[in-house]
Amino acid sequence: MIIKIDFESEIPIYEQLKRQIIQGIAKGDLSKGEELPSVRQLAEDIGINLHTVNKSYNLLKDEGYLVVDRRKGTRVSDTMPEPNEKYIDNLKEEIGYISADAYCKGIRKEEFLSVCEKYFNDFIANGEDESNGR
Amino acid sequence: MIIKIDFESEIPIYEQLKRQIIQGIAKGDLSKGEELPSVRQLAEDIGINLHTVNKSYNLLKDEGYLVVDRRKGTRVSDTMPEPNEKYIDNLKEEIGYISADAYCKGIRKEEFLSVCEKYFNDFIANGEDESNGR
Amino acid sequence: MIIKIDFESEIPIYEQLKRQIIQGIAKGDLSKGEELPSVRQLAEDIGINLHTVNKSYNLLKDEGYLVVDRRKGTRVSDTMPEPNEKYIDNLKEEIGYISADAYCKGIRKEEFLSVCEKYFNDFIANGEDESNGR
Amino acid sequence: MIIKIDFESEIPIYEQLKRQIIQGIAKGDLSKGEELPSVRQLAEDIGINLHTVNKSYNLLKDEGYLVVDRRKGTRVSDTMPEPNEKYIDNLKEEIGYISADAYCKGIRKEEFLSVCEKYFNDFIANGEDESNGR
DNA sequence: GTGGTCTAGACCACC
DNA sequence: GTGGTCTAGACCACA
């Protein structure tokens, strides 16, 4: 799986990395239980600081996406995280803002929904056969 | 229109304010051409520094949401901003990530889409009679 | 001569007015010795404050563009102002910056010069028969 | 590259700084990708507040002249900004006024054009070998 | 170390 | 009255 960092983005590097790993899991590029490169290895590959990769891994571990195994290193969790209340609230707020912005800028509801649907269909097509862990 | 700032949030105050103003416009709480409170007034009302309000106003002005009338102060623009290429790219990336995260956490496509649709319907119901400036 | 003020511009109203009067003179819309509307009249026509018009007139008077006559009111001067040292320095600085900006943005020298030339030709065509006051 | 601020000028400090950086890029004093001093460093060197430098940097970043690399700080962008419609309109208005003023003050077309040309030739001579990024 | 955020208080230009 | 500019000092996130 290819990681692409934009060093000039306003989004922190650790956040970009975290997001790409999550998208990698959704798209099926990373399978449940699959081992991730070591912190050191990945940091070198991407050309970023070791601590930055570590931060991403730890956040993903805290969220339930990754598990750290002493022997096997860092792997994708076998079960995906449950959506807790805080996440749901956050998601609604985020969607509330994004859709308001899009609406004001003249994006039509159908356009917006079709973009969302497109992504979902992608995820389902590639990941469904792995039964989504639930 | 009521502004509610979460001082514990990781989202900067100026960004929270900016988002709420955009949502206010989308929902119709703020009409095209409507005068906004002065930076000093709003800062005092919310209990934040005037420079923070100023930053929000300036970002919204740069984006095309607000205009500064030399005689009347700050007003909502009569014409909403056009979606430029950068915005579209950003939007797709954002939706790509959010939907990936949601998908992994077990949110079903229908649930996700219905939330989006609900917001849009709200905007349209409240704002359509003002013809959306386009 | 038509005055058009942009109340949302970052350029002060009095400066916009001043510039348009100068351009009116250069283009020949305003002739040497021609009477300008009274401060009160112009302010009302444009829909701006009386003091603002007054400021423009005074600046133009100080620069030598206008003369104030107790009986005849404000008129365009019969002789155009001489370019003093301060003006020349200022002009060079301004051109230095504008051309640098244009160059960086990929405007070709020929394009830039042709725009400048176009304006000058306009002025000469319309004003030359009035012998330019010198 | 030497920055010289006129504290008596009516042009804001951040604007003077911005202009000099743009001219520095045009003249080749600042190369594509070159690192700029940190806001704190430059502020101290010039003897102004770091927020003022920050404002200049941010404006230049918004315009596309500078980029902020999360690892290396602020650098000159590898690609110069494209001239958008707003810029072109602005440029024409500015040239329209400046040339009108110059014409009235007796500057001859040839003089005006030769000054413009001189600057451009300077930029080209010093910067062309860096291929201007386009 | 870097830039980003927020606060505070001052002065000024404009209208 | 409005927003714009500048200063000063503090804290934080990021790498």
Residue B92's identity, in one-letter code, is K
Beta bridge partners of C75: C35, C67
- Best to test chain B binding among C5, C7, C50 (most B CBs inside 10 Å): C7
Taking the C-alpha atoms of residue B50 and residue B128, their distance in angstroms, rounded to an integer, is 33
Task: Let me know whether C121 and C67 are in one domain.
Answer: no
Within a domain: residue D106? yes
Looking at residue D133, what is its pLDDT? 46
Give the range of the structural domain holding residue A19, as residue numbers without chain letter.
13-76
Last residue of a domain, one of A51, A76, A101: A76
In this complex, the answer to whether residue B51 has its CB under 7 A from any atom of chain F, a nucleic strand, is: yes
> Residue C68 has what DSSP assignment?
E
Looking at residue D128, what is its pLDDT? 58
Within a domain: residue B106? yes
Return the nearest residue to E14, CA–C1'.
C12
- Point out the residue among A27, A94, A102 whose CB comes nearest to the CB of B98: A94
Residue of D nearest to C98 (CA): D91
Task: Let me know whether A95 and A60 are in one domain.
Answer: no
Residue C115's identity, in one-letter code, is V
What's the gap in Å between the CA of D69 and the closest CA on chain A?
A: 5
Q: Is a pLDDT exceeding 90 seen at residue A133?
A: no
pLDDT (tens digit per residue) in C81-130: 999 999 999 999 999 999 999 999 999 999 999 999 999 999 987 655 55
pLDDT (tens digit per residue) in A74-101: 999 999 999 999 999 999 999 999 999 9
- Point out the residue among B22, B82, B97 whose CB comes nearest to the CB of A23: B97
Within a domain: residue C4? no
Taking the C-alpha atoms of residue D52 and residue D68, their distance in angstroms, rounded to an integer, is 17
Task: Let me know whether B92 and B66 are in one domain.
Answer: no
In this complex, the answer to whether residue D69 has its CB under 7 A from any atom of chain F, a nucleic strand, is: no
Taking the C-alpha atoms of residue B55 and residue B21, their distance in angstroms, rounded to an integer, is 13
Task: Let me know whether C22 and C39 are in one domain.
Answer: yes
Q: Is a pLDDT exceeding 70 seen at residue B64?
A: yes
Q: Is a pLDDT exceeding 80 seen at residue A129?
A: no
Mean pLDDT of D1-22: 96
Q: What 3-state class would DSSP assign to B113?
A: helix
> pLDDT category, B125, cuts 50, 70, 90?
confident
Q: Do chains C and A touch (3 or more CB pairs under 8 A)?
A: no
| C-alpha A28: how far from chain center | 11
Last residue of a domain, one of A42, A58, A76: A76
Which stretch of C62-76, C79-93, D119-133 has the lowest confidence by average pLDDT?
A: D119-133
Taking the C-alpha atoms of residue C39 and residue C22, their distance in angstroms, rounded to an integer, is 17
Task: Let me know whether C39 and C93 are in one domain.
Answer: no
Angstrom CA distances, D74 to A7, C6, D50, stand at: 11, 35, 14
Task: Let me know whether D69 and D29 are in one domain.
Answer: yes
Within a domain: residue A3? no
Nearest to D2 by CA among C93, D127, B32, D17: D17
- Residue pair C112/D120 in contact (Cβ under 8 Å)? The answer is yes
Looking at residue C45, what is its pLDDT? 95
Last residue of a domain, one of A47, A76, A105: A76
**CA–C1' C78–F13 (A):** 64
Residues from chain B that touch A114, judged by Cβ atoms under 8 A, are none
Angstrom CA distances, B51 to A73, B2, B13, stand at: 48, 20, 11
Contact C83 D107 (CB under 8 A): yes
Within a domain: residue C61? yes
- Point out the residue among B87, B94, B109 whose CB comes nearest to the CB of A105: B87
Within a domain: residue A23? yes
Taking the C-alpha atoms of residue B119 and residue B103, their distance in angstroms, rounded to an integer, is 20
- Residue pair D42/D53 in contact (Cβ under 8 Å)? The answer is yes
Number of domains present in the structure of chain B: 2
Task: Let me know whether B104 and B50 are in one domain.
Answer: no
Arithmetic mean of pLDDT over chain C? 92
Looking at residue B42, what is its pLDDT? 97
Contact D97 C19 (CB under 8 A): yes
| C-alpha D104: how far from chain center | 28
Mean pLDDT of D44-62: 97
Within a domain: residue A111? yes
**CA–C1' C85–F13 (A):** 51
Share of chain C above pLDDT 90, in %: 87
Task: Let me know whether B51 and B33 are in one domain.
Answer: yes
CATH number at residue B39: 1.10.10.10
Residues from chain A that touch B98, judged by Cβ atoms under 8 A, are 91, 94-95, 98
Task: Let me know whether D91 and D56 are in one domain.
Answer: no
- Residue pair D50/D43 in contact (Cβ under 8 Å)? The answer is yes
Asked if the C-beta of D113 comes within 8 angstroms of chain C's C-beta atoms, the answer is yes
Mean pLDDT of D25-31: 96
Task: Let me know whether D51 and D104 are in one domain.
Answer: no
Task: Let me know whether B25 and B59 are in one domain.
Answer: yes
Arithmetic mean of pLDDT over chain D? 93
Q: Is a pLDDT exceeding 90 seen at residue B102?
A: yes
Task: Let me know whether A29 and A54 are in one domain.
Answer: yes
Within a domain: residue D3? no
